[in-house]
Structure 1
Amino acid sequence: MTAPPITEAPAAPPAPSRTRLLLTVILTGQFMAILDVSIVNVASPVIRSDLSASGSGLQLIISGYTIAYAMLLITGARLGGRYGGRPLFLSGLAVFTVASLACGLAASSAQLVAFRLLQGAGAALMVPQVLIMIQTNFEGAARARALSLYATVISGAAVIGQVLGGALVSADLFGTAWRPVFLVNVPIGLALLVAGLRLLPRGGPRRHRPLDLPGLVTLSLAVSLLVVPLVLGHEQDWPLWGWVSMGASVVFVGLFALVERRSAAPLVPARVLMARGVIPSALAVFGLMAGYGGYLFSLALHLQGTLGDSPLRAGLTFVPAAVAFTVSSLNWRRVPERFRRPMVVAGLAVAAVGYLGLALALSGGGHGQPLLWITQAVAGFGMGAVFSPVLAIALTHVAPEHAADASGLFVMVTQLGQVVGVATFGTLYLGGASMTTVGVALAATMLATGGCALTLLRR
C-alpha cells in the first residue's frame, strides 16, 4: 500500500538561532510534563492531610496523570501528524497550564483527581510533538544534538522533580503547603505559549489520512487496561481485578493487531516498524526506561522509608546519576559513527555494573556513601550512552512524513517502560526484598536489554 501523499510542503529550514529557540520552547514543555510525574510524589503526605484524601484518592491524585498521559500518547502523535506539531503542541500546553492552575486551586481530593487527569491529557497532546518537530526541523549533527538534549531533559526532570518538590513543600510559601508544586507550571506555561506562538514553525509535513478510530480505541483500551493495574495494583496488594485487567490488555493487543492489518491508515505503519533498527531500538528504550523508572522509585522509597531521609535529601541523592547521564548524553556524538551501535550495548553493560555497585553499596544497611554516589554515576553514565544514540539510530531510517508515527511509538514505549519498571521493581521492594536484591534485578534487566540490542550491531 502506498503512503498517503504529503499535502503540505515542509517548511524551509529555520535559521540556526531560531532553531535553538524552538528547541528551548519544546524541550521546556517536555521538561514540565515529566517533572509533574515525580514532583507530586514528594507532596503526597501533605496533600493527603490537607484534603483528607482517602488512600485510593491519593493513589489517583498521584497516578491519574500517568494513566491519562500513557493512554492518550499515541492519539496525540497521530493528531500531530494530521494537523501539524505546532497547533497540537500549543493546544496541549494550554490544557496542561490551565489544568495546573486548577490543580493548585483544588478544594477537594475529587477535584484534584479530575484536574490531574486533564493535566495528563494535555501532556499527551504536547509531548509527542517534541520528537515530531525534532525529526522534521533538524538534520544530521543538529538532530543528534537535539536528541541528546531531549534525553537529558527526560533524565533530569525526573530527578529535579523530587528535589524541587521537596524544596517547595518544605518552604510552605505563604502557607500554601503543596499547592506550589502545581502552580509553578502556570507562569512557565504562559511564557511558553507566548514564545511558541512566535517561534514554532507553521509548516511541516501533514498527512491528511483517516484517524483510524478503531485502532485508536483498541490501542487506548489495551494501554489503559495494562497501565491502570500496574499503577494502582501494588498499593492494593494486587487484587483480582488487576490481573483480569492485564489479561484483557493482552486480548486487546491481539484485537489491535487484527484491526491494524485491515486498516487503510494504521496507527503505526508497517514501513515504520520495518525500518532498520526501529524494533530493537524500541525494545532497548523500553528495557532502559523500565530499569530507570524502577531505580528511581525503589531507591526513593528506601531512602525516605527505611533510612528516614527528608524528601529534599532523597532527591539530592540522585544528582550524581543525573549529572553523569547528562555528560554522556551530551557527548556521545564525539564517538566515531562506526562505534555508536556497539556503544549502545556497552552502555547497557556499564549501567548493569552501576546497578550491581548500588546493590553492594546498600548491602550494609546504611547510605553506603560515597560508594552509592559513585555507582549511581556509573549507572547514569551508561544509561546516557544508550538513550540518545538508540533514538538516533532508529530515526535515521524513518522518513519525515512518518515522524508522527515514530514519535508516538517511542514516546509511548518510553512511558510504558517507566510504568512497568515502577510496578515491577516497586512491587519487588514493597514485597520485602532488600535494595541489594532490587539492584541485582536492575542489573539483570540491563543485561537482558543489552541482549535485545545486539541486533543493532548488524548493519
Structure 2
Amino acid sequence: MSVVEPTAARSGEGGWRELATAAFVVVICAQAASGMVQGAAPMALPAISADLGASSSAIQWYASLFPLGFALVLILAGRVGDLFGTRRLLLLGYGAVVAALVLSAVAPTTPVLLVARLLQGVATGVMAPQLSATIQRLFQGHGRTRAFAVFLMATGGSFMLGQLVTGALITSDLMGLSWRWAYLPSIPFALATLVAAWRVLPRTFRGTAGRLDLVGAAALGITAFLLMFPAIQGRNAGWPLWLVVMLGSSVPAFLAFLAYERRVIDRGGDPLVNPTLFAISSFRVGNLITVAVSLITYAVPIYMILTIQSGFGRTPFEAALLTAPMPFANMFGALLAAPLVRRLGRGAVAVGGLLTGLSSILVLVATAGSPDTVEATHLLPGIALLGFASGISIASTMSIVLHEVPPAYAGAAAGVQSTSLQLAGAVGIAFFGMVFYGAIAESTDKAAYLTAITDVQWIAVGLALLQTMAVVFLPRHRPQPLDPAVPLDATA
C-alpha cells in the first residue's frame, strides 16, 4: 500500500475537494494522454494509407494491434504490479507508452508504425491496471466512487478531444506532417505527465502475486494470432489452404490453452484465466455477451470513419465532427447503466442490445437511397445512438457478469472480463474488415463504400439481436448497483 495517503482521501469525507491531490491529477493526466491517442488513431487511417502506401490489411492490423497487445498483458500486468509495486510498474508502462508515441510519430514505413502500435497496446496494458490500483489506494468509500467517476469522464472526454484535434490538424496538414499529428500533440503532454508521476506518485511496497502464468499468456497470444492473421490476410492472399488450416487451428489451440489452465489449477498454481469461473452461469453467459458487444463497439466506429472520409470524401476534421457524438453519448450511456441495472437487473443488457440494433437500423435507413442523395450527415443519429447504447451495454454487462463471482475471485474475474472485451474488439476489427474491404474490393466509388457499411451494419444487427436474446440465459437476481471499484477502460 502507499506510504502517504491524505486523511480526507482515506475517510471519503472531503467531498469532491478530496480529489484535488497531485497523485490523482497525474493519474487522470496519464489516462487522458492515452485516451487522446485512441481517439486520434482512427482519424488518421486514410492519411496513413495515402502517405505510407499501407494496404487494407495493414490498416486492419494497425487498428487491431492496440487492443490485441493490451489484452494479452492486462491480467499479467495486474499481478506483476502486485509483485513488484504499483508505482514502479506504472512508471515503466507509461514510459513505454511515451516511447511508443515517439516511435509512431517518426515511423518511416508501415512495418515500423505497426510495431509501434503493438508496443503502445502492450505498454498501455501494463499501465492500465496500475492506474486503477493507484486510485483504490488513494481513496476509500464515496471518495473512491467519485474518483472513478472522474476517471471515466476523463477517458471519454479525452477520446473525443483526440478525435477533434487530430481531425483539424490532419485536415490543415500543418507543416506537411499529415497523419503524424495523431501522435505529436500527445508527446509533450505525456512526457510532462511522466516526469510528474515520478515525482508525486506515492511509493508502494512489493507484494506477492503467486507464480506468473507466462506459458498461459504465450498460449493465449498464439491462439489470437492463429485467429487474426488469416482473418486479416486471407482476402488479399486469395484464401490459400494453409490460411484456412491456420484459421481452423485456432479452435484446438484455444481448447489446449484452457486445458493447460486447468492443469495449472490442479498443481495449485495461479492461472492466467481460471476456467472454474465459467461454471458460474452469469459469468459464462455474460462473457459471451461481452464478446458480442465488443465485436460491434470496437469495429463499427472504425469502418464508419473510413466510410465518411474515403466514401463521402469528407476531411478528417469533418469526420471527427460527425463521429464526436459517439464518445460523448457513450459517457452518458455508461452513467445511465447504474440506475438501469438497479431497476431492471439483466434487462439493462437487453436495453443496450435493442438500442445497438436500432442504431444500425438508423444507418441502414440513412444509406438506403441513391448514392447521389445520401449525405454523411444522415449517419449522425445512428452514430450518436451507437455510442449511447455501447455505454449502457458495456457497463451493465460488467456489473452483471461480476455479480455472482465470489469476492476472492473478483480481481481475476474482472481481468478476464476486460481481456474478453479487448480481444473480441481486435477480432471484430479483423472480421468486420473482411466484409468491409470485400465489398469495396478495389473501388473508390461512394456506392461501394455504402454497400460495405451496409453489410457491416447488418452483421451488427445480428450481433445486437444475439446480445438481446442471450439475456434470457442470465440468471434472475436482485438488481444491484454497479461496483465503482471496477473501472472500465475505454481507451481502446
Same fold per TM (> 0.5)? yes
Aligned residue for 1:381, secondary structure, equals: helix
Paired with 1:318 and 1:381, the residues of 2 have a C-alpha distance of 12
Going from structure 1 to structure 2, the CA distance change for 1:248 and 1:335 (only over 3 Å counts) comes to closer
1:309 aligns to 2:327 (yes or no): no
Aligned to 1:415: 422
Name the amino acid aligned to 2:456. Answer: V
| Contact map agreement 2:78 2:130 (CA 8 A) in 1 | yes
| Contact map agreement 2:230 2:243 (CA 8 A) in 1 | yes
Aligned to 2:395: 388
Bigger mean CA deviation after superposition, 377-386 or 335-344: 335-344
| Contact map agreement 1:363 1:435 (CA 8 A) in 2 | no
Written as runs of structure 1 = structure 2, the 5 A alignment for 1:167-182 is: 167-182=168-183
Name the amino acid aligned to 2:288. Answer: L
How far residue 357 of structure 1 moved from its aligned partner, in angstroms, is 1.6
1:293 aligns to 2:298 (yes or no): yes
Aligned to 1:4: none
Deviations 1:259-303 (A, max 9, x none): 111112111235654567333332232211211123212222322
Aligned to 2:434: 427
Going from structure 1 to structure 2, the CA distance change for 1:222 and 1:295 (only over 3 Å counts) comes to same
Name the amino acid aligned to 2:44. Answer: A
Bigger mean CA deviation after superposition, 324-333 or 35-44: 35-44
Going from structure 1 to structure 2, the CA distance change for 1:226 and 1:23 (only over 3 Å counts) comes to farther
Aligned to 1:127: 128
Deviations 1:171-225 (A, max 9, x none): 3334433333222232222233244345655459944311123222212211232
Aligned to 2:446: none
How far residue 368 of structure 1 moved from its aligned partner, in angstroms, is 5.3
| Contact map agreement 2:309 2:315 (CA 8 A) in 1 | yes
Going from structure 1 to structure 2, the CA distance change for 1:108 and 1:421 (only over 3 Å counts) comes to closer
Gapped regions of structure 1 (runs ≥ 5): 1-7
How far residue 95 of structure 1 moved from its aligned partner, in angstroms, is 0.6
Paired with 1:125 and 1:252, the residues of 2 have a C-alpha distance of 25
Paired with 1:43 and 1:370, the residues of 2 have a C-alpha distance of 20
Deviations 1:62-99 (A, max 9, x none): 65545433433343234234334433222111111022
Name the amino acid aligned to 1:410. Answer: Q
Paired with 1:362 and 1:92, the residues of 2 have a C-alpha distance of 43
| Contact map agreement 2:56 2:437 (CA 8 A) in 1 | no
| Contact map agreement 1:96 1:122 (CA 8 A) in 2 | yes
Aligned residue for 2:178, secondary structure, equals: coil
Paired with 1:18 and 1:253, the residues of 2 have a C-alpha distance of 46
Paired with 1:11 and 1:135, the residues of 2 have a C-alpha distance of 13
CA-atom RMSD, angstroms?
A: 3.7
State the identity %: 28
| Contact map agreement 1:165 1:181 (CA 8 A) in 2 | yes
Paired with 1:70 and 1:453, the residues of 2 have a C-alpha distance of 25
Aligned to 1:436: 454
How far residue 126 of structure 1 moved from its aligned partner, in angstroms, is 1.4
Name the TM-score, length of structure 2 as normaliser: 0.77
Aligned to 1:254: 255
| Contact map agreement 1:37 1:65 (CA 8 A) in 2 | no
Q: Report the number of matched residues.
A: 452
| Contact map agreement 1:152 1:329 (CA 8 A) in 2 | no
How far residue 311 of structure 1 moved from its aligned partner, in angstroms, is 1.9
How far residue 319 of structure 1 moved from its aligned partner, in angstroms, is 2.3
Paired with 1:414 and 1:346, the residues of 2 have a C-alpha distance of 19
Bigger mean CA deviation after superposition, 349-358 or 15-24: 15-24
Deviations 1:84-142 (A, max 9, x none): 44332221111110221233234444544443333232122112434555667667766
How far residue 51 of structure 1 moved from its aligned partner, in angstroms, is 5.3
Written as runs of structure 1 = structure 2, the 5 A alignment for 1:48-67 is: 63-67=64-68
| Contact map agreement 2:232 2:433 (CA 8 A) in 1 | no
Which of the residues 389, 392, 413 maps onto 1:406?
413
Going from structure 1 to structure 2, the CA distance change for 1:312 and 1:244 (only over 3 Å counts) comes to farther
Aligned to 2:381: 374
Aligned to 2:186: 185
How far residue 170 of structure 1 moved from its aligned partner, in angstroms, is 2.3
